[in-house]
Structure 1
Amino acid sequence: MDSDEDFLSTVSSDDDIMLDDSENDDISNGDEFDDAFDEDPDDEPDLGLQKQKTPVAYDVGYKVYSPGDIQKQQEEMMNEVNMILEMSKEDAAILLRHFRWNKERLIEDFMDNSDKVVEAAGIKIREEGEAARIQCPAEGCSRIIDARSLDLLVTPELSGHVKVVPRPDCENAVECGIKKKELDKVVPTVACVCGYRFCFGCILSDHQPAPCELVKSWLKKCADDSETANWISANTKECPKCNSTIEKNGGCNHMTCRKCKHEFCWMCMGLWSEHGTSWYNCNRFEEKSGTDARDAQAKSRVSLERYLHYYNRYANHEQSARLDKDMYTKTEKKMVQLQSASGMSWIEVQYLNSASQALQTCRQTLKWTYAFAFYLARNNLTEIFEDNQKDLELAVENLSEMFEKPIAELADSKLKVDIMDKTAYCNKRRLILLQDTAENLANGMSFKL
């Protein structure tokens, strides 16, 4: 029997399908699929899933499978191929792996040219259709390994539209019906029953509302040396004569290049000899060469300041997320303390757990809104997005302040109601932001990547 990973290999072409997530409070099995992203049924493995429209723009249907589910589906496919093509289950398994578990395409190609298919798959089938002959890959060894033995050695393989949950302690897989070519218009976030949320498109953790390509550009920008170069550009200038990089280390604007001895004005980059003794008037300020240098310096500074504006806010929420890794333990402890102090039941203190989850989820979304905003082209939609972002951020900060109150204050019934109301409001504002951006992405929202 094939292992799970073979059945769930990653998407490799525009025809491959991807997955997205549900925004229900309880983790959804995601049985529903959006008709807008249906593949041609002839190009899909038959997993017996009903495809129905999902209720909101940012929500794309998906389904979670346990290892047992995957094994059962693989068995069913092998049995069907075995029956139709009259070959052993071992041969059927090898061919299905070769076709990435696309049963329909396998059968169609096999009917057209069976010899070509068998050769491409690397098996040898005897005339009676008996077991496949798989040679040991070790150098100098000619022994044949049967498929059952091979199953114990190979890594699992999965079909292109099913992926293993990228969490070390989770063995489940998730299926989604989103095409790779739709990833610029959809952010396919999915949630396993274990609680882990990730993007089916790039396997990173949940990054709604930012599309995968934008996330890739942002992470690269943050990781490489581009911003170091921006700092240098904003704080240094090049000698107008030899282009050596010069940093101003004093108050005087009369600069002399140590390399070529060229003298120039730091303010306008013009010849110092033309300034005379009145450097502060900068009478050559409009000189073409000086103006060009000044404009380049100003643009670099503005670019750096703009990047830092978004990066600092992105990093702040990212830091909060790191600090919140043990939020569940802290919240549980706080709930126990509140129980003791107020006499509330365990059910009655669950509002703190709901608030904690809302804070973590909303901060994750807010983090990525700043990467989203950095690349967002300025137009009439930008102000709406920024208003939604501001409303969510304000709601999160208010809830966070309430959540951090001492136990004695949390026991107050009025504060409990306020926290519950603010939790609901945070979740609502997040969904409004995601809905709005999802609709705009689907309609071709533009970015400057």
Structure 2
Amino acid sequence: MDSEDEISYDEVDSGNESSGDDVDFAMETEAGNPRERTNDTDDYPFEVLTTEEIVQHMVDCIKEVNTVVEIPATTTRILLNHFKWDKEKLMERYYDGDQDKLFAEARVINPFRKTPVISWSRSSVHAMTRRTSSTNGTEECGICLMLLPIHTLTGLECGHRFCSGCWGEYLTTKIMEEGVGQTIACAAHSCDILVDDANVMRLVKEPKVKLKYQHLITNSFVQCNRLLRWCSSPDCNNAIKVQYVESRPVTCKCNHTFCFNCGENWHDPAKCSYLRKWIKKCDDDSETSNWISANTKECPKCSCTIEKDGGCNHMVCKNQNCKNEFCWVCLGAWEPHGSSWYNCNRYDEDEAKVARDTQEKSRAALQRYLFYCNRYMNHLQSLKFESKLYASIKEKMEEMQQQNMSWIEVQFLKKAVDILCQCRQTLTYTYVFAFYVLKNNQTVIFEENQKDLESATECLSEYLERDITSENLTDIKQKVQDKYRYCESRRQVMLEHVYEGYEKEWWVYME
């Protein structure tokens, strides 16, 4: 590879501008030692990559392709980004015989084409030729329209040339204000050729703009690579690299565990698709409209929405053009309610079976949602409180060690809190699963397992919140150990039942 194709990146971090982890990297640097952070405790291997390792991984991918395809490294990076860093897809397209189409789709100039293709209109080309030839060694910048020495103008392989000042302002605006990194197009109007890394680093002069650009490139590399995902902990700049994508838990070096497939906290036994639905349902305004449907009625005459604010069922519509008087219970006219023949109190079973009232459906749906949502939110809240238990348990462990107990002897407390938090997290997402799955014989078994785990978890939580003294230590230790072992076994039993249901298609989901 020619030296002019090399790109040096200085002070690059994970793409989080608040990060202080700055590293240096170059396109032609030698590969470092193999990373040995594979998770061997599970059958889903993954690696935790630091900022430096993310950049090195990107460089390794580019070099691997360039060992087969001898094109500039910056062009290779654009091509790989176009294929979401899938090297196999890129190589397959590259050798299918239509390279011009490949480069056009990736918005780069074919490096094997000797004559660049310029997309100026005929009149523009004529005007540029005239302005260039009519002056002595000068050329007009297509942006600021100033006549400048030819050697001061620069451009891309597409042939569009502008002065360095205009290029710098254009790129700075794209990077700093629009947050564009991977897809900065040529400054020429209607030209969609992408500006490569080498030209950006050459034309941009301010270090903070270069650093921002490198942030964007690194961030885009992780985001568009299906085998990479940023750690979802807000204060972490690491990424997780896997060999294949699956809805499985991965744990970062910051100890945060999340689902690789969707990036949410690990949500066994709920599937990613239904967790997304649940989160959207909890966040949007659909439940507000459900509340309105469940707690209000429409005037049978003018259809205005009315909320009952008193005990009397005699309603008078406040609409000045209506003033309809009706019964809140049956929505019938109020006038005949005093007559002996009017049966507002009689429930017509046949009529109810034929046509259910839409409002009652909404009320039932709202009550069902609130049932599961309240329990979901309760376990989330308890999980936050339980996380604070680590601080108090640490103090208890230190006190116990001061009372001539060894470090090994007090570790049962930390183990108990670990299992308590795992059980809380699992119970949280069992209510997402239960909300969407339709009732059948297997859901009855699931609910029994859920109830058993919930009861045991509450008992363990109660044990850990008790005051532990030297007098009751032996009794409490035995109870805590027995209970956390039971909790973990019941959690596994419940999850294995759900997994078996997935395999045997027991679960039918409501739409």
> Which TM-score tier does this pair reach, normalised by the shorter chain?
0.7 to 0.9
Kindly state the Cα deviation for residue 257 of structure 1 after the two structures are TM-superposed.
2.4
State the one-letter code of the partner of 2:92. E
Aligned to 1:345: 406
Question: Residue type of the partner of 2:310?
Answer: G
The answer to whether 1:161 aligns with 2:218 is no
1:245-274 per-residue CA deviation (whole Å, 9 max, x = no partner) reads: 223333333333233232322222223333
Counterpart of 1:245?
Answer: 305
**How many Å apart are 1:311 and its aligned residue?**
1.4
CA separation in 1, counterparts of 2:508 and 2:300? 38
1:379 matched to 2:440: yes
Q: Percent identity?
A: 41
Report deviation, 1:352. 0.8
Q: Please state if 1:357 is matched with 2:418.
A: yes
Alignment CA distance shift 1:235-1:310 (3 Å): same
Give the distance between the partners of 1:424 and 1:287, measured in 2 at CA. 52
Which residue of 1 is the match for residue 241 of structure 2? 175
Shift of 1:83: 2.3
Q: Secondary structure at the match of 1:241?
A: coil
Q: Which residue of 1 aligns with 2:296?
A: 236
Residue among 99, 104, 110 paired with 1:114: 99
1:300 alignment counterpart: 362
The answer to whether the aligner puts 1:317 opposite 2:387 as a matched pair is: no
Correspondent of 2:494 among 430, 433, 439:
433
Conserved 8 A contact 1:274-1:284: no
Structure 2 residue aligned with 1:24:
none
Per the normalisation by structure 1, the TM-score is 0.75
2:50·2:238 contact (CA, 8 Å) conserved in 1?
yes
Distance 2:87 2:199 in 1: 19
* Aligned counterpart for 1:102 among listed residues 75, 86, 95: 86
Distance 1:188 1:137, change over 3 A: farther
| Deviation (angstroms), 1:66 | 3.6
1:307-345 CA distances to partner (integer Å, 9 max, x unpaired)?
2221111111111123234332222112112323x4211
Name the structure 1 match of 2:179: none
Tell me the equivalent position of 1:264: 326
Does the 8 A contact of 2:227 with 2:242 survive in 1?
yes
User: Partners of 1:410 and 1:242 in 2: how far apart?
Assistant: 74
Structure 1: stretches of 5+ with no match in the other structure:
7-27, 34-53, 55-59, 180-185
| In structure 2, C-alpha distance between the alignment counterparts of 1:93 and 1:29, rounded to whole Å | 26
1:20 maps to what in 2?
none
Q: 1:75 to 1:247 in 2, by over 3 A?
A: closer
Superposed, which structure 2 residues align to 1:174-193 within 5 Å? 174-176=240-242, 187-193=247-253
Does residue 223 in structure 1 map to residue 272 in structure 2? no
Number of equivalences: 394
Q: Which has the higher contact order (CA 8 A, sep 6+)?
A: 1
User: Which structure has the larger Rg?
Assistant: 2
Query: Shift of the alpha carbon at 1:81?
Result: 2.2
Q: TM-score, normalised by structure 2?
A: 0.67
Deviation sequence 1:31-83 (CA, Å, 0-9, x none): 699xxxxxxxxxxxxxxxxxxxx4xxxxx544433444444443433333222
Q: Is the 8 A contact 1:29 1:63 kept in 2?
A: yes
Q: Contact 1:335–1:352 (CA<8 Å) still a contact in 2? A: yes
- The counterpart of 1:194, out of the listed 241, 244, 254, is 254
